[in-house]
Amino acid sequence: MSREGVEHALRARADERDRISGDLLDLESHTTYQLLRGAGLRGATGHRWAAAQEALARLWSLNDAYRAVLREAERIRDARPRLSGEQLERLTELLAGPSVVLRAAAKPVEQRSLLPQADERLTLDQTVSRMDAAFREVTSALTDIDERWNELLPRLDAADAALRRVRELETGLGEAAPGLGTPEDELKRLRAGVVQDPLGAAAVERDLDRVTRLLAAAVTELELAVTVKQEYARRRENLVAALDRVRAAESEARLAHGAVVVKIALPPQARPRSRVDALAAALDALDVSADPWVLRAKRLAGLEDEARAAAEQAQVTARALYGLVSRRDELRGRLDACQVMAVRKGMAEDPHAAELFGRARALLWSAPCDLTKAAAAVENYQRAIHGGKA
């Protein structure tokens, strides 16, 4: 290398050394790195971090050897204002040749040989490449562990917050959430599992999902119970009013049935069935119940839903019953229109068509009317006058 080449190489290597030193300092100050240094890791995370530490040891060993070569090169360069040919040759060897010496690592006695172990010699570029590979191995482990901690620890914090909310609600209600057990102990176990082995926390994650669902359900139940306890008198009054609406709707359905059954043939199961008495009895039982408020809240909410459904069902039933009369009238209209068409086609006196018309009319003007048979009779007559056969 020329004098200018040596100066350029030394400046580039000095910049490279400073950059590498900065990266290593950043690594050591990384929050996750600091946490891992004192953590009692186990499982997959323990194995991964042990391998990363071995890579880190290689990295520091390579870095020490790398810096030693650069120090030697700078010492030679600074020794004289003008470099001799011998010094240029030595600097070229240090900067471009296999100048970094890696001493053979000591091995366990069972892996040793009596033959001498050869040291390894690397160029500065090869040394930097190996340092980069070791650095990437360490940062990859840090990234994977950090991602899992960032994913799981906030979920654990949220579960802890939900548990605190459960305890606050239990205190205010004076009752414990049923079926919850002792989530404090389980959350402590799960947190220890996440802290010690985030990379192997698949089973912990499943348990955390289960506990989170239980706590969320408990919070919902307890909040409902508190609300019901505070609003029971008002909601009971509203439920009594809802039952009155059910009575009115069921009365309308019975009236509709009575009006329709004389006109339309109805099966026995079409008779409206009342639910209001059973709902009223359930409300009376709830008033004197000694069950916890969590259960009473569910029962009250269920009664409110059932009352709404009963009123809606009775209204639907009444509309459906009156709709049967409308269906009969529609069929009568279709039959009259078909008869007009038959007259236009000169088929009014056709014996077959007249027979079909008479059957359909008899069915539609009978009481109670069998709508199924009447609809089929109208269809047969309509096909006959359009050229089809019944």
Model confidence over 288-345: pLDDT tens digits? 988 888 888 889 999 999 999 999 999 999 999 999 999 999 999 999 999 999 998 8
241: pLDDT confidence band, cut at 50, 70 and 90? Answer: very high
Question: Are 12 and 131 in the same domain?
Answer: yes
The pTM assigned to this predicted structure is: 0.62
pLDDT of 46 strictly over 90 = yes
d(CA 307, CA 241): 10
Residue 167 lies in a domain: yes
Provide the domain limits for residue 201: 162-226
pLDDT tens digit string along 162-193?
999 999 999 988 888 887 878 999 999 999 99
Residue 265: phi and psi, rounded to 5, are -70, 120
Predicted local distance difference test score (pLDDT) of residue 390: 43
Question: Are 186 and 93 in the same domain?
Answer: no
Question: Are 334 and 306 in the same domain?
Answer: no
- Maximum Cα–Cα distance for the chain, whole Å? 135
Question: Are 266 and 244 in the same domain?
Answer: yes
348: pLDDT confidence band, cut at 50, 70 and 90? Answer: confident
Number of structural domains found in the chain: 4
pLDDT tens digit string along 71-111?
999 998 888 778 788 888 889 899 989 999 887 666 666 66
The last residue of a domain, from among 226, 244, 264: 226
Residue 246 lies in a domain: yes
Question: Are 276 and 359 in the same domain?
Answer: no
| Averaged pLDDT for residues 355-364 | 94
**From 12-21, 223-232, 333-342, the region with the lowest mean pLDDT:** 223-232
224 Cβ neighbours under 8 A, 6+ residues apart = 294, 297, 298, 301
The last residue of a domain, from among 226, 245, 271: 226
Question: Are 242 and 296 in the same domain?
Answer: yes
Question: Are 135 and 237 in the same domain?
Answer: no
| Averaged pLDDT for residues 121-142 | 95
Residue 152 lies in a domain: no
Question: Are 14 and 61 in the same domain?
Answer: yes
d(CA 193, CA 205): 10
Residue 356 lies in a domain: yes
| Averaged pLDDT for residues 22-43 | 90
Predicted local distance difference test score (pLDDT) of residue 105: 66
pLDDT of 146 strictly over 50 = yes
Residue 282 lies in a domain: yes
Please count the other Cβ atoms lying within 10 Å of the Cβ belonging to residue 214: 20
Question: Are 68 and 10 in the same domain?
Answer: yes
Averaged pLDDT of the chain = 91
| Averaged pLDDT for residues 17-21 | 94
Question: Are 265 and 246 in the same domain?
Answer: yes
Predicted local distance difference test score (pLDDT) of residue 111: 66
Question: Are 133 and 9 in the same domain?
Answer: yes
Which position has the higher pLDDT, 138 or 114?
Answer: 138
Predicted local distance difference test score (pLDDT) of residue 238: 95
d(CA 45, CA 34): 15
Share of the chain above pLDDT 90, in %: 71
| Averaged pLDDT for residues 24-35 | 91
d(CA 45, CA 201): 9
Residues forming beta bridges with residue 156, ordered by sequence position: none
d(CA 72, CA 59): 20
Question: Are 7 and 89 in the same domain?
Answer: yes
Residue 150 lies in a domain: no
Considering Cα of 337, then 341, then 343, then 349, what sign does the dihedral take? negative
